Each structure stands twice: as structure tokens, then as C-alpha cells.
């Protein structure tokens, strides 16, 4: 029986492979069918169907979805979160060029794939936000705030110290900047792990997610201050950063959060009561997506991460707003969003893995500093657990959940690479590489550590209320 299945499996693989190869070779068979090449070029110009830019995305999606599911499965079998499998298989695919296979290199520079990935993480945070409400977040508000503050201050000073000790020849601005790159948590990975292991509604999840929002606002302020100071020093006059400017950044961010809550309590009921009058199919899902995309857009415009907006959108959408849709037999938004999430979310994580350049780890001269920096990044976020006084909460898990650094750290590093002081960039190529390694490792260690901590916690501790 088992052998039979394997035989059929092999047969299936051979036929599929032959079919795909035929498809590929047909396409490249330019000599034989040269009018078709004309057609394809024209199709591209006229942006119409036959063989246009969509073909590149279709094959990327096939590779990515397959890698995501296979990677997820392999890692689940080893009791690891599926997201780690998506990252690792992405890393493998993204580095196949090192052994001469550069079939997938184009995926990395595909702007459309990048946008699909970003939409994926926006949908993920929207989905995660739907699992909670503003009221529930308010309950953990103080805890979240403390976690965010501890989780920003400690990495900042520890990073500064690491710079001071290990790069004694560099200026104080370099040290400060290294501290700044360690501050902001990238919550996508943590959210996904919490979802994978079914802990997204736990108290720990709420504290981490709330802290991530505040963390993002604090990160904005630090970026403005640090980059402002260095620009001012570099240009020789001291007005690079004004208190007015920083105040404005804070006001915008706070206005966004307050605005989102106002929309949730005052506008949304009317919004859905108007929407229900529309006589077309898909109105409910469309109007929920509208809230998500609009808030993600505005968050991006005020300088926050779009995922903060998507999370806020999920929070403010409450069953009470759309009871009339539910009475009409509409499925719950959580069920409606799930297929979109299954489609788009893996693109983000597989692509994140693909962007990892393994050759960075081959640069022996920077590995030492990278290791110290990574250690500082991981250890310093454990200060977050000190902000939790409630004994029922798994504080270790909160410290672990705050570990991942991502795009914000890389944005800081990128800005630092462009800031020139005394003829040299603040963030040199070596420091940049060390920061990249730090981002990769913090991303990869979080899923197994967080899963282990939360599942052990669930056994030993009393059940969360």
C-alpha cells in the first residue's frame, strides 16, 4: 500500500516536472515562434493579458506557496512553528545562486512581489487585531506601555555600550546610532508564532502587541532625535533637531491612535449601517478591507509602520458594528479574512527568508562584532519582563516575543549609512553587515524560543483568566 503510493507519487512528480519543463521551454522557444515573441512584447507594452508581467508573479507564487507549505510541514514535525520553516526554506531558495542555480534571483528584485508580501503582513496584523478589541487592549495598556519603555531604553544603552567597548576608535555618534538600531521590535514574526500555536488571544499576546504599537512610536521619536543630532553636527549648525519637530512627530502618532479609536466607536456603526444598504455581493468583506487598508495607509503617512494601522483597524472592528450583516447570514470577518491570509501571509515570510544573504556570515572579520551585537539585542529585550508585575503572566515569553528586529533596524542602519561625519558614514559597511546578521538571528531564534516558553508556561502556570 505504502509502496504503491510512493510509486504513484514518483509518477506524479515526473509528469508534473515534464509538464512544467515543457511550459518553460515552450516559452523560451523564441526561434521557432517569433511572432509570439512580438505578441508577448506588445502585450507587455499594452499591459494586457497574454504573457505580460503577471507570468513572473504566477511562477513566483507557485514556488513560494509550495516552499511555505513544505517548510512549514517539516518544521511542525520537529515541533517548531511553521513560520520558521517558511523563513528557512525562503533562505534556501534565496541562496541557491551560491551553488550556481540562479533561477530564483529575479524574485528578490520584483517590486510586485514585495508589495504582495507587504500586503501579506498587513493582512496578518489585521487578522491578529481582529482577535482582540480596544477595550481588551486598554486592560493591558499600562503593562504594554511599561514593556515598550523598558524594551526601548535598555537596548538603546546596551547597544551604545557595546559600540563604546568594541569600537573604541569610532565617535560617540556611531555608538549612539548602534544603540538606536537595537530599539524597535518587529512584531510580524511574533504575531505569526502566537497565531501558529493558538496563543493569539492570551494576555501575553495582548501585552506584546500593545507594546509593539508604542514601541513603534518611540522608535520614530528616537530616529528623529538621533538622525537630527547627527545631521546637525555634520552640517555644523545646531538646529538639526528642534523640540517642535519631535513634538510634531509625537502629536501625529498620538493623533493617529486617538483618531483610530474615535473612528471605531463613533464612525464604524454608521459606516456599516450605510454599507448594508448596498445591493452587491462582497460588501461586508470589502468594507472591512477598506478600514484595514485606509488605516494602514494613514499610519504609513504619519510615519508609523503600515502594520500598526492594520492592527488598529482589526482592534476597532467589533462584532457589535456589524450585527446586521451577521443577521443577514454573512460569515464572520475572521472567517472571511482567513483565505486571503492563507494566500498572502506566506509570501511575506518566504520572501523575508529569501532576502537573507548567507554570504554575510562568511565575512569572518565582522562575525565577532555581529555576535556581540546580537547578544546585546537579545539580552536587552529581556528587560521587558521586568516591567511585568502580574504573577499570572508569563514574563519570559514577553521578553522573548519582543526580540525580533526587522525593517526598522534596517531602516535606521540605512539612514546611518547615508549620514556622513568627518568624511565617513556613521554606519560603515561592516557595522551594516553586523546589523543585518543581528536582524537575521533575532528573527530566527524567536519562533522556537517563544513557542517553547509559552507551551511550557501553559503546563506549569495556572490557566490565564
Which residue in the set 209, 213, 296, 313 belongs to the binding site for a second copy (CB under 8 A)?
296
Full 3-state SS string of 408-441: HHHHHHHHHHHCEECCEECCCHHHHHHHHHHHHH
Which residue in the set 17, 30, 33, 320 belongs to the binding site for a second copy (CB under 8 A)?
33
Q: Which residue's entry shows cell 484595514?
A: 292
Q: Which residue's entry shows cell 499594452?
A: 46
The burial of 31, by beta-carbon neighbours within 10 Å (0-12 exposed, 13-18 middle, 19 or more buried), is given as exposed
Contact flag: residue 325 with a second copy (CB under 8 A): no
Which residue in the set 17, 24, 320, 420 belongs to the binding site for a second copy (CB under 8 A)?
24
Which residue in the set 32, 99, 364, 463 belongs to the binding site for a second copy (CB under 8 A)?
32
Q: What is the C-alpha to C-alpha distance for residues 58 and 56, in angstroms, rounded to an integer?
A: 6
Q: Nearest approach, Cβ of 163 to a second copy (angstroms)?
A: 20
DSSP classification of residue 182: T
Terminal CA-to-CA distance of the chain, rounded, Å? 48
Contact criterion met (CB below 8 Å) for 200 and 161: no
> Among residue numbers 171 through 230, which ones bind a second copy (CB under 8 A)?
220, 223-224, 227-228
Q: Nearest approach, Cβ of 111 to a second copy (angstroms)?
A: 6
Which residue in the set 149, 267, 375, 386 belongs to the binding site for a second copy (CB under 8 A)?
267
Measured from the CB atom, the residue of 100 and 339 that comes closer to a second copy is: 339
> Among residue numbers 272 through 291, which ones bind a second copy (CB under 8 A)?
273-275, 277-283, 285-287, 289-290
Measured from the CB atom, the residue of 82 and 383 that comes closer to a second copy is: 82
Q: Which stretch binds a second copy (CB under 8 A): 165-173, 364-372, 394-402, 412-420?
A: 412-420
Cell of 359: 554570504
Measured from the CB atom, the residue of 23 and 368 that comes closer to a second copy is: 23
Strand partners, 262: none
Which residue in the set 17, 20, 420, 461 belongs to the binding site for a second copy (CB under 8 A)?
20
Q: How many residues bind a second copy (CB under 8 A)?
A: 123
Q: Nearest approach, Cβ of 414 to a second copy (angstroms)?
A: 4
Which residue in the set 149, 153, 166, 231 belongs to the binding site for a second copy (CB under 8 A)?
231
Contact flag: residue 62 with a second copy (CB under 8 A): yes
Which residue in the set 3, 111, 364, 463 belongs to the binding site for a second copy (CB under 8 A)?
111
Cell of 279: 445591493
Q: Nearest approach, Cβ of 419 to a second copy (angstroms)?
A: 9
Measured from the CB atom, the residue of 167 and 336 that comes closer to a second copy is: 336
Cell of 75: 518544521
Measured from the CB atom, the residue of 45 and 365 that comes closer to a second copy is: 45
> Among residue numbers 71 through 90, which ones bind a second copy (CB under 8 A)?
72-73, 76-77, 82, 85
Which of 331-370 are b and which e, b meaning 16 or more Cβ less than 10 Å from the residue's Cβ? eebeeebeebbeebbbbbbbbbbbbbbeebbeeeebeebb
Q: Nearest approach, Cβ of 280 to a second copy (angstroms)?
A: 4
Contact flag: residue 161 with a second copy (CB under 8 A): no
- Residue among 48, 227, 159 nearest 438 (CA): 159
Contact flag: residue 114 with a second copy (CB under 8 A): yes
Strand partners, 425: 420
> Among residue numbers 34 through 53, which ones bind a second copy (CB under 8 A)?
35-36, 38-39, 42-43, 45-53
Measured from the CB atom, the residue of 47 and 365 that comes closer to a second copy is: 47
Which residue in the set 302, 366, 434, 435 belongs to the binding site for a second copy (CB under 8 A)?
302
Contact flag: residue 58 with a second copy (CB under 8 A): yes
- Residue among 391, 394, 215 nearest 311 (CA): 215
From residue 235 to residue 254, the character string flagging contacts with a second copy as x (rule: CB under 8 A) and all else as - is ------x---x--xx--x--
Residues 6+ apart with CB under 8 A from 92: 353
Residues 6+ apart with CB under 8 A from 299: 256, 305, 306, 307, 308, 309, 310, 312
Contact criterion met (CB below 8 Å) for 204 and 155: no
Contact criterion met (CB below 8 Å) for 163 and 174: yes
From residue 331 to residue 360, the character string flagging contacts with a second copy as x (rule: CB under 8 A) and all else as - is -----xxxxxxxx--x--------x-----
Contact flag: residue 406 with a second copy (CB under 8 A): yes
Measured from the CB atom, the residue of 186 and 385 that comes closer to a second copy is: 186
* Strand 420-421 relative to strand 424-425, pairing: antiparallel
Residues 6+ apart with CB under 8 A from 126: 292, 296, 310, 311, 313, 314, 337
Which residue in the set 98, 103, 172, 262 belongs to the binding site for a second copy (CB under 8 A)?
262
Strand partners, 421: 424
Measured from the CB atom, the residue of 27 and 161 that comes closer to a second copy is: 27
The burial of 123, by beta-carbon neighbours within 10 Å (0-12 exposed, 13-18 middle, 19 or more buried), is given as buried
Q: What is the C-alpha to C-alpha distance for residues 446 and 352, in angstroms, rounded to an integer?
A: 15
Measured from the CB atom, the residue of 118 and 204 that comes closer to a second copy is: 118
Amino acid at each position: 500500500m505504502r509502496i504503491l503510493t510512493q510509486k504513484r507519487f514518483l509518477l506524479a512528480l515526473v509528469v508534473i516536472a515534464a509538464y512544467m519543463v515543457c511550459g518553460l521551454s515552450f516559452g523560451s522557444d523564441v526561434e521557432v515562434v517569433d511572432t509570439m515573441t512580438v505578441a508577448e512584447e506588445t502585450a507587455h507594452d499594452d499591459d494586457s493579458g497574454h504573457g505580460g508581467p503577471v507570468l513572473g508573479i504566477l511562477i513566483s507564487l507557485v514556488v513560494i506557496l509550495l516552499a511555505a507549505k513544505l517548510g512549514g510541514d517539516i518544521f511542525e514535525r520537529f515541533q517548531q512553528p511553521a513560520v520558521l520553516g517558511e523563513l528557512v526554506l525562503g533562505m534556501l531558495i534565496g541562496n541557491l545562486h551560491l551553488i550556481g542555480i540562479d533561477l530564483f534571483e529575479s524574485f528578490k528584485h520584483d517590486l510586485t512581489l514585495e508589495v504582495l508580501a507587504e500586503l501579506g503582513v498587513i493582512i496578518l496584523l489585521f487578522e491578529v487585531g481582529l482577535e482582540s478589541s480596544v477595550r481588551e487592549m486598554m486592560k493591558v495598556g499600562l503593562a504594554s506601555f511599561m514593556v515598550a519603555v523598558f524594551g526601548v531604553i535598555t537596548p538603546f544603552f546596551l547597544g551604545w555600550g557595546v559600540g563604546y567597548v568594541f569600537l573604541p576608535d569610532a565617535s560617540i555618534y556611531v555608538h549612539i546610532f548602534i544603540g538606536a538600531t537595537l530599539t524597535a521590535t518587529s512584531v510580524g514574526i511574533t504575531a505569526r508564532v502566537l497565531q501558529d500555536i493558538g496563543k493569539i488571544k492570551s494576555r501575553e499576546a495582548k501585552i506584546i502587541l500593545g507594546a509593539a504599537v508604542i514601541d513603534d512610536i518611540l522608535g520614530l521619536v528616537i530616529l528623529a532625535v538621533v538622525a537630527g543630532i547627527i545631521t546637525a553636527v555634520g552640517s555644523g549648525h545646531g538646529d538639526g533637531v528642534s523640540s517642535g519637530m519631535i513634538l510634531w512627530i509625537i502629536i501625529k502618532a498620538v493623533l493617529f491612535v486617538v483618531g483610530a479609536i474615535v473612528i471605531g466607536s463613533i464612525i464604524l456603526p454608521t459606516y456599516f449601517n450605510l454599507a448594508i444598504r448596498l445591493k452587491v455581493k462582497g460588501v461586508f468583506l470589502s468594507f472591512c478591507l477598506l478600514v484595514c487598508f485606509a488605516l494602514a495607509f494613514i499610519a504609513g503617512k504619519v510615519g508609523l509602520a503600515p502594520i500598526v494601522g492594520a492592527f488598529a483597524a482589526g482592534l476597532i472592528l467589533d462584532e457589535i458594528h456589524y450585527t446586521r450583516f451577521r443577521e443577514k447570514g454573512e460569515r464572520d470577518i475572521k472567517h472571511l479574512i482567513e483565505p486571503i491570509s492563507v494566500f498572502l501571509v506566506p509570501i511575506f515570510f518566504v520572501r523575508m527568508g529569501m532576502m537573507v544573504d548567507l554570504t554575510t556570515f562568511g565575512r569572518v572579520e565582522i562575525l565577532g562584532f555581529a555576535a556581540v551585537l546580537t547578544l546585546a539585542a537579545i539580552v536587552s529585550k529581556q528587560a521587558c519582563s521586568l516591567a511585568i508585575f502580574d504573577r499570572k503572566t508569563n514574563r519570559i515569553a514577553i521578553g522573548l516575543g519582543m526580540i525580533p528586529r526587522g525593517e526598522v533596524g534596517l531602516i535606521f542602519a540605512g539612514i546611518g549609512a547615508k549620514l556622513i561625519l568627518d568624511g565617513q558614514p556613521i554606519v560603515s559597511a561592516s557595522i551594516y553587515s553586523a546589523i543585518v546578521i543581528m536582524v537575521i538571528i533575532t528573527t530566527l531564534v524567536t519562533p522556537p524560543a517563544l513557542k517553547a516558553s509559552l507551551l511550557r508556561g501553559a503546563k506549569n502556570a495556572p490557566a490565564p483568566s
